[in-house]
């Protein structure tokens, strides 16, 4: 039997003054708030954070973000301020520091006072070096999630070796850190056994990021694979992006070791081939989501790279269809692929349809998929589980295909981006079906806002490309 809360009666004889009620609510809100985000206008940072800790004594999650900061906003949080903050915020579990340019290794070492700290994110913190990270690895014994983004001075991995040997790390995300390459993570050793999420994205560059020297693994020995003898059977979420390597080395060996893997994202990873995908499929029967992004325009200057690209054939798709029967989300992105040269992609429509028809695909994204035509769309329309479909720069998709899309049994969310051969006539087919919950139209020059508005309950329409789309199709300066 539930007990009634112990609340004093309020009536004419028990009237509480308004100021007292406000004070009570103020205290309750202060004690119950567990998360706060502080922006770039936090001025006199040390005093302000001290006041915040007094106001909210039970804070567990704090984000300090100085993006957009200018000197006129006041002083940033510095080492002294972080020391005071870490000593007062005893319940802190999750901390993210973004664009904090006044914090260096000595300030980061103060986080050892936060004995409950489980998750730490460092985003564009230019003064942090491996020394500071090592102090965190040693002092924060409960740390299970570490995110490093744009940390330019981190150029050695003693901290990584320590965490692999003695740390409880379950989630590791490293993006755009110039001094860290993907071979460094082979030194993580037994730490791979505990890791459940791993994400590595190489340093971004202007326009043609794949030009430049390939990073070799100096410790690779064709006759001894001890360095690659590690286990990552707990890994469920893996993302590798913008990696330059050769087939026999590097993190590609992880693909055949992830028996628990559920989500895989491979974006512009050189030297992967069909054999890697086949090995992956054989070990990852629990795979539910796969994203494969290939940038063809960056390979044409090197014959070896071109051969690597075409080595992704239907055999890869057949292996996924045979072994990964729980697959629900597929995202295929072929940047720079010519609409009139299907052989540029090793996949064919036949292999793609085998995959779609063998797995309960609910979400499908196709970007510049020149192998996909009328017959493919007709076959796709019979997919019994497809709920969400996104088509980007698919020149073969025309008004005729809209009728097939309208017939798809469970489709409720449709996105068309830069599909220039779809017009208001095709969109009218979707209107007649009256199935869609949401429709997104972006930069489809022959589709009008008036036609789109009649199709779904929720409609987003833009006649121009967003920045996000420009980057996704390889025209945004960075990829």
For residue 473, the enclosing domain spans 372-479
pLDDT of residue 7: 45
Q: Residue 308 in contact with residue 272, Cβ under 8 Å? A: yes
Q: Rounded to an integer, what distance in angstroms lies between the CA atom of residue 57 and that of residue 32?
A: 9
Is 386 part of a structural domain of the chain? yes
| Burial bucket for residue 83 (CB in 10 Å: 0-12, 13-18, 19+) | middle
Is 8 part of a structural domain of the chain? no
Is 174 part of a structural domain of the chain? no
pLDDT of residue 478: 39
pTM of the model: 0.84
Q: Residue 154 in contact with residue 148, Cβ under 8 Å? A: yes
Is 430 part of a structural domain of the chain? yes
CA–centroid distance for 204 within its chain: 15
Is 380 part of a structural domain of the chain? yes
pLDDT of residue 148: 97
The C-alpha torsion from 78 through 83 and 87 to 91, rounded to 10°, is 50
pLDDT of residue 449: 94
Is 197 part of a structural domain of the chain? no
- Joined together, the tokens standing for residue 363 give 């979400």
Q: Residue 308 in contact with residue 269, Cβ under 8 Å? A: no
pLDDT of residue 325: 94
Q: Rounded to an integer, what distance in angstroms lies between the CA atom of residue 166 and that of residue 446?
A: 59
Look up the CATH number of the domain holding residue 467. 3.80.10.10
CB within 8 Å of 226: residues ≥ 6 apart: none
Is 454 part of a structural domain of the chain? yes
pLDDT of residue 63: 93
Is 356 part of a structural domain of the chain? no
* Domain count within the chain: 1
Q: What is the pLDDT along the chain (479 residues), one digit of tens a residue?
A: 444 444 444 445 555 566 666 666 656 665 667 788 887 766 656 777 778 788 888 889 999 999 888 887 778 888 988 888 888 888 899 999 999 999 999 999 999 888 899 999 999 999 999 999 999 999 999 999 999 999 999 988 899 999 998 888 999 999 999 889 888 888 888 899 999 999 999 876 543 344 344 555 555 454 445 566 778 889 999 999 988 766 555 677 788 888 899 999 999 887 777 888 888 899 899 999 999 988 664 444 444 444 444 467 889 999 999 999 999 999 998 877 766 655 567 788 899 999 999 999 999 999 888 777 778 888 888 899 999 999 998 888 889 888 888 889 999 999 999 998 899 999 999 988 888 999 999 999 899 999 999 999 999 999 888 777 776 666 554 34
Neighbours of 283 (CB within 10 A): 17
Q: Residue 130 in contact with residue 159, Cβ under 8 Å? A: yes
């Amino acid at each position: 039997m539930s007990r009634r809360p112990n609340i004093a009666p309020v009536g004419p004889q028990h009237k509480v003054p308004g100021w007292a009620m406000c004070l009570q609510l103020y205290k309750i809100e202060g004690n119950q708030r567990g998360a706060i985000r502080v922006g770039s206008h936090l001025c006199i940072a040390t005093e302000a954070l001290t006041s915040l800790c007094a106001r909210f004594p039970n804070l567990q999650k704090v984000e300090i973000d100085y993006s957009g900061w200018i000197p006129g906003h006041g002083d940033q949080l510095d080492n002294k301020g972080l020391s005071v903050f870490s000593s007062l915020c005893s319940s802190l579990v999750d901390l993210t520091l973004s664009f904090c340019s006044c914090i260096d290794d000595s300030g980061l070492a103060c986080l050892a006072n936060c004995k409950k700290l489980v998750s730490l994110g460092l985003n564009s913190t230019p003064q942090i070096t491996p020394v500071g990270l090592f102090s965190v690895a040693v002092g924060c014994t409960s740390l299970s999630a570490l995110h490093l983004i744009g940390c330019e001075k981190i150029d050695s991995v003693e901290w990584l070796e320590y965490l692999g040997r003695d740390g409880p790390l379950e989630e590791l995300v490293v993006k755009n850190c110039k001094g860290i390459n993907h071979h460094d993570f082979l030194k993580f050793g037994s730490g791979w056994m505990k890791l459940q999420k791993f994400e590595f994205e190489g340093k971004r560059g202007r326009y043609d990021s794949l030009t430049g020297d390939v990073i070799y693994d100096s410790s690779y020995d064709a006759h001894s694979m001890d360095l690659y003898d590690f286990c990552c059977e707990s890994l469920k979420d893996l993302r590798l992006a913008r990696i330059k390597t050769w087939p026999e080395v590097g993190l590609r060996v992880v693909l055949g070791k992830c028996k628990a893997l559920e989500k895989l994202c491979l974006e512009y990873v050189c030297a992967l081939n069909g054999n890697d995908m086949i090995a992956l499929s054989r070990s990852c029967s629990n795979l539910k989501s796969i994203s494969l992004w290939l940038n063809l325009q960056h390979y044409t200057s090197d014959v070896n790279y071109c051969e690597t690209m075409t080595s992704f054939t239907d055999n890869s798709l057949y292996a996924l269809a045979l072994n990964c029967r729980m697959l629900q989300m597929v995202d295929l992105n072929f940047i720079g692929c010519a609409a009139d040269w299907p052989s540029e992609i090793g996949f064919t429509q036949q292999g793609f349809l085998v995959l779609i028809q063998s797995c309960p695909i609910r979400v499908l994204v196709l970007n510049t998929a020149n192998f996909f035509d009328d017959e493919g769309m007709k076959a796709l329309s019979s997919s019994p589980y497809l709920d969400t479909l996104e088509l980007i720069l698919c020149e073969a998709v025309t008004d005729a295909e809209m009728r097939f899309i309208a017939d798809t049994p469970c489709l409720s969310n449709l996105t068309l981006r830069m599909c220039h051969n779809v017009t208001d006539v095709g969109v009218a087919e979707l209107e007649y079906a009256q199935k869609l919950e949401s429709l997104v139209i972006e930069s489809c020059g022959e589709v009008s806002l008036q036609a789109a508005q009649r199709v779904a309950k929720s409609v987003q329409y833009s006649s121009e490309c967003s920045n996000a789309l420009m980057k996704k199709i390889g025209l945004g300066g960075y990829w």
